[in-house]
Each structure stands twice: as C-alpha cells, then as structure tokens.
C-alpha cells in the first residue's frame, strides 16, 4: 500500500486535526489525547513544524526509531513528562548502536501514542515517518514489524529523570516479559524505543501512510465536511442511536464490559464488547466488526470520539468501524491482534 | 406562624434575584424578586429586607437559610478581586514539560500568578513515596516567593491516593506564611494532575473574595435577626455550610444555575427533565437527571482552563431586542436546534419552563409549573447537603471494605458540610477499573446526601 499524499509537515495548524485523528484510532482506549496534544503543540510552537516523510523519501540505510510511551495513561497524566525523554532515548540508542537516528516513527499511532512521537520529533529536530506499527492500541507490544521478524532489541527505556535501561533479549517473548518488568521498575510508565530498523526494512514491515490518514480523519471530524467513515479504509456506520445497558464488569470479575446501541431506524440493537478498547460489534448476533478493525463511538453532540470511561447511558452516539490493517490479517497476525487474543471466543473465520 | 420546617432561599442570579420562604413540599409561602445589581451581598441584603418587610412572620420562622450567588464566576470573568497565588507542585523531579499554569490565558495568568515552583514530593499510584518531601526546598521557595502571594495552592502527584505530602506542605506553608489560605488539590478530585492543579489554583485565587463575601452574607443575616444556619448551593445542586464554602469558591461557581435546574424538576414533579430558564434577554437550557443538574460532558473548562470542576451542562440562546415577532421566528429554530442537540447528549424529552418569561416560542409540549418564576429559590431551599469522596483503591481489597471505607469518608465530609448525621444516605456509588494497569486498581467514588441541620424549633 502506497500512501496517496504525504502531508509534508505538521505545524501548529495541523496539531488539533492530527490529535483528533489519533483519538479516533484509539478505539475508545489508548489514553485521552489532551495531554499529548498539549505536549505536541508546545513542542511544535517552540521548535517549529515537524517534517513528515515517507519511507521512500529516506535513504535505504536511514535509521528509523519506532517509539512512544508504555504504561498507564493515568500515570502519564499524573506524573507528567520532564521533556528530557526524546534526548535520553536518542542518547541511549546512539550509545548502543553507535549510529545516529534519522527519523522517528510512532510504534502505535492510536490515542496519546500517536502524538507523543510528534512532540519528540519536534523537540529533537528529526522528521516523523508516515507510518506506524499497529493501527490501533495493541497489548503486549505487538506490532506488525514484529510479525515481519524485525528484532525488537536492543530496546531502550528511559523515564525522563535520568534512568536509562537497555534490553537485549534472546526471544521476543522474553523481551516482552523483561519490558514489563522494567516498566514496573520505572514506576509504571516509561518512554520506549524498540524494533529500530533501516528504512529499507520499514518499507515492507510497517503500516504505511497512517500519519496522513490520522490527519485526514481528524480533518473530517473537525471541519464537519465529509463523513468520518469516508476517511477510514472500509469505513462504515454500524449504528446511530442511544447507548442502553452499559455494563462494566465488576472489578472482581474482569476489566471489560459491554453496551447496546439502540438504533433510531427501528428495533435494531448493536452490541459492543470492550476491554481497554472497543473490540467487537455484533448486529443481530452477527459479527460486523472485530479487532483489529477500528471501532469508534462518536458523541453526537460534540462529535468527539468517546473514551470508554466517558460512556454514559442515554447518550446519542454514532458507531463507526473501519477495516484493520491488512498486515494483521494473516493467521499469525490474528493470533496477536484478533478477537482470540483478547479472550473473545468466536468461530473460526468470523473475524 | 408556621410550625413547619420552612427554609429561606435567596438566589442572586446574573440578571434577577429571587427569594422565597419554602415549605418542605416545595410551596413558597412568601416570595420576592427584583433585578440583580451585580453585588451578591447587596442583592441578598435587599432580598432579606423585602421579605422581612412583607412577610415578617414567615421569614423569621425559617430554620435554614440557603444562598446561591454567581460572585466567583463574576470575579473570574472580570479578573477582579483575584488573589496572587503561589503554585507549589510536589513531584518526583523538579523538571516538567508542563509546569504549573502552562497554557493559561495570559490575562488570567497575569492576574493570578505569584510564582510557580516544583519541589520533590508526591507518591505513586499505589500510594508509595519514591522521593521524600523536600521540606527545606519548600521552605526556601515559600521564603522567596511567599511575600508576593496572598494564597498558596499545593498539588502533589497522586494526592488523591495519598494526601500525606499535600497535608505536610500545608502545615509548612501555614508556619512560613501565617494567615495565607492554603488550598490542597486532593479536595478537587483524583485523576489528572494538571486539571486538579488548575482547580486548586483558581480556587486559591478566589479565597480572598470568598472570605469577604461570606463574612458579609453572614453579617447581613445577623443584622436581620436570622439565626438559622446558612448554606450555599454548589455546582452539583447540593449544599455546603457557608463557613465551609468560603474555602471552596470554585465549587459554588454555578450555584444559581444548579438551583433552578433542581427547582424546575421539583416544581414539575419530575426526576428527569430538560429545564429551560427563560429570561427576557436569553433562554438557558440544562438537564436535571434524578433531580440533580447533569454535568457537562468532555473537558471541564473554567475561565478557559481545564479543571476537575464539574459544572452543569448548559446552552444559552440569546433573545435580541428587535421586533419581537421577527426575532422569534429567527431564534425559534436556533432554540429548537439547541434543545435537539441537548437531547442527543441524552437529555430527556420533557421540557420544563422556568424563569421570568412565560413562553418558549416554537417548542412543543412545554410544562410550565406554578411558581416557575421562583424555581431557583425553590430548588435552593429544598436541596440536600452533599459530599463526595473518591480515591484509587487496590482491587485486592474486598469489595465491601472498599465500599465502607469510601462511604465513611463521604459521610464524615457531609457532616462537616452541615448534613444531619442521622439522615445521611448514599446517593451514588461507582467503581471503575483503571485501564492499562497490571493489577487494575479501582477508581472508587461515593456521593452521599442528607438534609441540612436546622435551627432548633422555637419553643
């Protein structure tokens, strides 16, 4: 897939639309974008616009750093970054690899993690690659680069307060286990860079054109011109109606829940299942969208995509879905990003 | 003379002041109204004078006095009477990409800032302290920046989980800067340090005028010979003793609006209603849900700054003064569209009309209850005292212990707010697991309510 148009740069005028696009791709999770949008706006205002480049614009041996925050958005919003994170990450990478980073890339262009690399790219004066590794929030650091066999380590964790940790792991599983151990050690939140790669590798391993897409989605939402679903690949409206029967699992049972949207066109009920993000939509018992698809609930009054903890019964919403990245559509991909990865037991082939 | 437990309420709104002595069933037995002057104290004083003049027996029988005024909103909008505030943040590291007052509108920032400082302190999501509170650093900052500050706002990382460092900082500030009000962020919520910090700083900026207005109101009641306890209406439509409210001005910011939202529902005999307050120049639309004002969705902006302070969800449609019919045709569709949009947000179908203007052009099936002119006074008079406690608790704690702990805190707070201990009930109890944390701690919140303590029945 080759992107039709690379936006060229993201300046102050583009930050709001990009943030709204990231919020849409967050699928109800990934953390609110408010703080990350502020960081991006402050960084762009202070250091200037960020150049957005396609992999093809980079030399084949250009060194690309997928990066973002890992851990709880709640801790992000409470502890707040120091601003030293990108410089610390670059210093750690340089020390381990002995080479300079040429461009940053969001490892997960969804929610806050779409905007954080933008703020960092502005801060360190490097371009941002028009690509990402997930297309929606994913657990356990799963990315399509990992599917393609890009080695995750050496990986780098910094906390912005002077702690720098380099992880070298024998296998991907052990990398993930170690990364979460390190995360606990830095207080539940860290700035991460992993799966560093040459542009020639990124060209085939990453999901391309996603920064442009987030901008297009955000513009469609903010300008009220054109339907949001038109900006999503395979975009479609699943239902428009009021939220009924919103149920969160009790804390002692699980961390998810479900809701019904009563469509205004009659008696149709759309059922949406969620955990940290929206995962599954059923219409009359039929699966109409499932992770890794994009599933978003827009508030009809404000046109904002709702986070799961912002859901309220009786609110009027538009439920929109889009096709997930093709790279996840292999058996190996679905094992990481499909319904079964979240404990949703669907018949084979449905998702 | 009535022997019922009547309450007296004065609501000094933006344009109109209404005051009434209200029976427990919601019926006003005495009422007055006049155009507001813009001075809350003068309006309340005038209302008491008029009530005592026209209905002396009913007024003197009041066993609680409730006021709702928009003075804190006025002070913030006009940027007058604001205290210079020293903002102290307690965090693991003194560097921050987002220091206090980041992103504030510059005029507000100029009016409020007496200095910002970050010193070591605060805790983690589990309440553990990664760094000790830097007492010496705090004392030095207070000595350096204190002289230009009239109030101090202290915000600690995860203060909603453990307020220990905020409380320790408060003691130090009270020693170093005696007589200066100290505001702590954990009184304004749990999640989101910046929003909590902004709420604490705005509140601190209003404590000077808050104290002055409250003292003047209490003095006015005493001068009129009213000895009943005095309450103030909060943003959520519940009450707090005036003495306590003086310390929390941002929590009474939208008291008048909360009062008419509650009053509209009460007078219509409904729990849920879309309440429109029509005055001659504008129509304001809000939602009562379970008898309480519904909070606006999305970011909680106050004076252009994101905060944790929940305000009633309101939309205002202006009526212009040009030829009445022409204007009605124009603003009618705007009004209907605004009502439709509120319904999209989950507002109920039934429209209740309150306020001075008796009609709502272009809107079908409007319920106009009797005494709708005095909806704000009725809503204020009948409101219960309320208190909310929230925190983050480990999921490993048994569910009933989480509940007991939180309800106990809320009840203790409600008694301090002036609730009658024997009649407090739990109005809402919510628990939400927090996403993306390994052991999913729970954000738990309890809201309790109870009737206000009344002046003893005259023997």
The yes-or-no answer to whether A9-212 and A234-323 have a common fold is no
Reduce the secondary structure of chain A to three states and give it as a string: CCCCCCCCEECHHHHHHHHHHHHHHCCCCCCCCHHHHHHHHHHHHHHCCEEEECHHHCCCCCEEEEEEEEECHHHHHHHCCCCCHHHHHHHHHHHHHCCCCCEEEECCCCCHHHHHHHHHHHHHCCCEECEECCCCCCHHHCCHHHHCCCCCCCEEEECCCCCEEEECCCCHHHHHHHHHHHHHHCCCEEEEECCCEEHHHHHHHCEECHHHHHHHHHHHHHHCCCCHHHHCCCCEEEEEEEEEEEEECCCCCCCCEEEEEEECCCCCEEEEEECCCEEEEEECCEEEEECCCEEEEEECCCCCECCHHHCCCCCEEEEEEECCCHHHCCHHHHHHHCHHHHCCCCCCCCC
Residue A5 above 60 pLDDT? no
Task: Residue B350: list chain A partners with CB under 8 A.
Answer: none
A43, A46, A79: best to mutate for the B interface, most B CBs within 10 A:
A79
The nearest CA of chain A is from the CA of B160 a distance in Å of 10
**Do residues A304 and B298 make contact, with C-beta atoms less than 8 angstroms apart?**
yes
- pLDDT value at position A4? 47
Contact in structure between B253 and B238 (CB atoms under 8 Å): no
Nearest to B436 among A72, A315, A316 (CB): A72
Residue A48 has pLDDT above 50, yes or no: yes
What is A234-323's CATH superfamily?
CV3147-like (2.40.390.10)
CA distance A181 to A175: 10
B389 touches chain A (CB under 8 A): no
Confidence of residue A1 (pLDDT cuts 50, 70, 90): very low
Three-class secondary structure of residue B63 per DSSP = coil
Q: Is B442 on the interface with A (CB under 8 A)?
A: yes
Question: Residue B346: which of A29, A80, A314 has the nearest Cβ?
Answer: A314
What's the pLDDT at B142? 97
Write down the domain spans for chain B. Answer: 7-76+226-381, 84-180, 384-450
Chain A within 8 Å of B98 (Cβ-Cβ)?
yes
Distance from CA of A38 to the nearest CA of B (A): 8
Chain A's closest residue to B158, CA to CA, is A78
- Whether chain A has a CB inside 8 Å of the CB on B396: the answer is no
| CA–CA separation, A29 and A14 (whole Å) | 22
Query: What residues of chain B lie within 8 A of the CB of A305, using their CB?
Result: none
Q: What is the pLDDT of residues A198-232, one digit of tens each?
A: 999 999 999 999 999 999 999 999 987 667 888 89
User: Residue A70: which of A163, A180, A145, A160 has the closest Cα?
Assistant: A180
Nearest residue in B to A186, CA atom: B130
Q: Nearest residue of B to residue A244 by CA position? A: B346
pLDDT of residue B14: 86
3-state DSSP assignment of residue B67: strand
> What integer pLDDT is reported at residue A184 of this predicted model?
86
Question: Hey, what CATH topology would domain A9-212 get?
Answer: CV3147-like fold (3.40.1610)
Give the minimum alpha-carbon distance from B192 to chain A in angstroms, rounded to a whole number. Answer: 5
Closest-approach residue (CA) in chain B for A242: B346
Q: What are the pLDDT tens digits along chain B (459 aa)?
A: 456 789 999 999 988 999 999 999 999 999 999 999 989 999 999 999 999 999 999 999 999 999 999 999 889 998 989 999 999 999 998 899 999 999 999 999 999 999 999 999 999 888 888 899 999 999 999 999 999 999 999 999 999 999 999 999 999 999 999 999 999 999 999 989 999 999 999 999 999 999 999 999 999 999 999 999 999 999 999 999 999 999 999 999 999 999 999 999 999 999 999 999 998 888 999 999 999 999 887 789 999 999 999 999 999 998 765 434 444 555 557 888 889 888 877 788 899 999 998 888 878 889 999 999 999 999 999 999 999 999 999 888 998 999 999 999 999 999 999 999 999 999 999 888 887 777 778 889 999 999 999 887 654
Q: Which residue in the set B103, B124, B432 is minimally distant from A38, CB to CB?
A: B103
Taking the Cβ of residue B440 and every Cβ of chain A, the question of whether any pair is shorter than 8 Å is answered with yes
Q: Are A45 and A52 in contact (CB under 8 A)?
A: no
Q: Check if B87 contacts A (Cβ < 8 Å).
A: no
pLDDT, averaged across chain A: 92
Domain regions of chain A by residue span: 9-212, 234-323
- What's the pLDDT tens digit per position in B26-55? 999 999 999 999 899 999 999 999 999 999
Cα gap B293→B274, rounded to integer Å: 10
CATH dotted code for B7-76+226-381: 3.30.420.40
- pLDDT of A337 higher than 90: yes
Count A/B contacts: CB-CB distance under 8 Å: 126
8 Å CB contact of B96 and A180: no
pLDDT > 90 fraction of chain A, expressed in percent and rounded? 79
Higher pLDDT, A314 or A144: A144
Residue of B nearest to A256 (CA): B433
The confidence score (pLDDT) of residue B394 equals 87
- ipTM, interface predicted TM-score of the complex: 0.91
Q: Which residue of A has its CA nearest to B128?
A: A187
């Amino acid at each position: 897939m080759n992107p039709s148009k690379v936006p060229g740069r993201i300046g102050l005028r583009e930050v709001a639309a990009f943030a709204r696009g990231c919020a849409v791709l967050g699928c109800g999770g990934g953390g609110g974008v408010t703080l990350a949008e502020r960081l991006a706006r402050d960084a762009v205002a202070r250091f200037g616009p960020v150049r957005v480049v396609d992999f093809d614009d980079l030399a084949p041996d250009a060194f690309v750093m997928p990066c973002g925050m890992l851990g709880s958005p709640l801790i992000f919003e409470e502890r707040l970054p120091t601003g030293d994170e990108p410089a610390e990450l670059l210093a750690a990478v340089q020390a381990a690899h002995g080479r300079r980073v040429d461009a940053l890339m969001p490892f997960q262009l969804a929610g806050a993690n779409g905007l954080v690399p933008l703020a960092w790219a502005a801060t360190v004066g490097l371009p941002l690659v028009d690509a990402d590794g997930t297309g929606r929030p994913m657990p356990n650091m799963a990315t399509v680069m990992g599917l393609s066999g890009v080695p995750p380590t050496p990986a780098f964790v910094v906390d912005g307060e002077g702690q720098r940790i380099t992880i070298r792991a024998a296998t991907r599983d052990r990398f993930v286990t170690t990364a979460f151990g390190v995360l606990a050690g830095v207080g539940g939140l860290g700035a991460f860079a992993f799966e560093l790669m040459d542009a020639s590798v990124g060209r085939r391993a990453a999901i391309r054109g996603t920064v442009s897409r987030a901008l297009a989605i955000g513009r469609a939402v903010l300008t009220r011109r054109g339907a949001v679903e038109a900006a999503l690949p395979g975009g479609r409206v699943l239902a428009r109606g009021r939220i009924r029967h919103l149920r969160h699992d009790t804390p002692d049972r699980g961390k998810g829940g479900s809701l019904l949207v009563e469509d205004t066109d009659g008696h149709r009920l759309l059922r949406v299942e969620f955990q940290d993000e929206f995962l599954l939509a059923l219409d009359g018992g039929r699966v109409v969208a499932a992770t890794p698809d994009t599933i978003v609930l827009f508030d009809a009054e404000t046109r904002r995509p709702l986070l799961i903890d912002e859901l309220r019964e009786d609110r009027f919403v538009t439920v929109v879905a889009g096709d997930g990245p093709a790279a996840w559509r292999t058996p190996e991909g679905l094992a990481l990003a499909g319904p079964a990865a979240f404990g949703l037991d669907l018949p084979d082939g449905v998702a | 003379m009535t022997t019922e437990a009547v309450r007296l309420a004065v609501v000094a709104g933006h344009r109109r002041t209404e005051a009434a002595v209200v029976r427990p069933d919601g019926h006003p037995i005495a009422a007055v109204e006049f155009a507001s002057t813009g001075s809350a104290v003068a309006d309340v004083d005038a209302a008491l004078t008029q009530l005592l003049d026209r209905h002396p027996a009913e007024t003197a029988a009041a066993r609680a006095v409730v006021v709702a005024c928009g003075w804190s909103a006025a002070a913030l909008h006009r940027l007058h009477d604001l205290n210079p505030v020293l903002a102290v943040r307690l965090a693991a590291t003194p560097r921050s990409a987002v220091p206090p007052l980041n992103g504030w509108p510059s005029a507000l920032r100029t009016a409020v800032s007496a200095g910002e400082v970050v010193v070591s302190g605060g805790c983690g999501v589990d309440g553990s302290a990664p760094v000790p509170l830097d007492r010496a650093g705090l004392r030095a900052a207070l000595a350096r920046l204190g002289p230009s500050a009239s109030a101090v706002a202290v915000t600690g990382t995860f203060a909603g989980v453990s307020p220990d460092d905020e409380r320790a900082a408060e003691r130090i500030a009270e020693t170093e800067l005696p007589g200066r009000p100290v505001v702590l962020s954990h009184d304004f919520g749990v999640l989101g340090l910046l929003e909590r910090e902004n709420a604490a700083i705005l509140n601190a900026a209003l404590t000077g005028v808050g104290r002055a207005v409250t003292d003047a109101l209490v003095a006015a009641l005493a001068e009129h010979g009213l000895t009943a306890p005095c309450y103030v209406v909060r943003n959520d439509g519940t009450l707090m003793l005036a003495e306590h409210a003086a310390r929390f001005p941002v929590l009474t910011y939208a008291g008048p609006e909360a009062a008419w939202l509650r009053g509209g529902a009460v007078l219509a005999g409904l729990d849920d209603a879309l309440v429109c307050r029509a005055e001659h120049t504008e129509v304001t639309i809000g939602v009562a849900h379970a008898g309480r004002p519904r909070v606006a969705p999305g970011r909680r902006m106050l004076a252009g700054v994101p905060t944790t302070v929940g305000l009633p969800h309101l939309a205002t449609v202006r009526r212009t003064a040009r030829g009445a019919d022409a204007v009605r045709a124009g603003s009618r569709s705007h009004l209907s569209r605004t009502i439709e949009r509120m319904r999209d947000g989950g507002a109920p179908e039934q429209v209740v009309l309150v306020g001075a203007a008796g009609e709502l052009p272009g809107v079908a099936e409007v319920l106009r209850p009797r005494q709708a002119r005095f909806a704000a006074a009725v809503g204020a008079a009948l409101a219960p005292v309320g208190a909310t406690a929230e925190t983050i608790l480990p999921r490993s704690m048994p569910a009933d212990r989480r509940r007991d702990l939180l309800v106990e805190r809320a009840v203790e707070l409600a008694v301090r707010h002036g609730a009658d201990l024997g009649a407090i009930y739990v109005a809402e109890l919510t628990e939400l697991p927090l996403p993306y944390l390994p052991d999913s701690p729970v954000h738990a919140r309890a809201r309790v309510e109870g009737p206000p303590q009344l002046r003893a029945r005259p023997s």
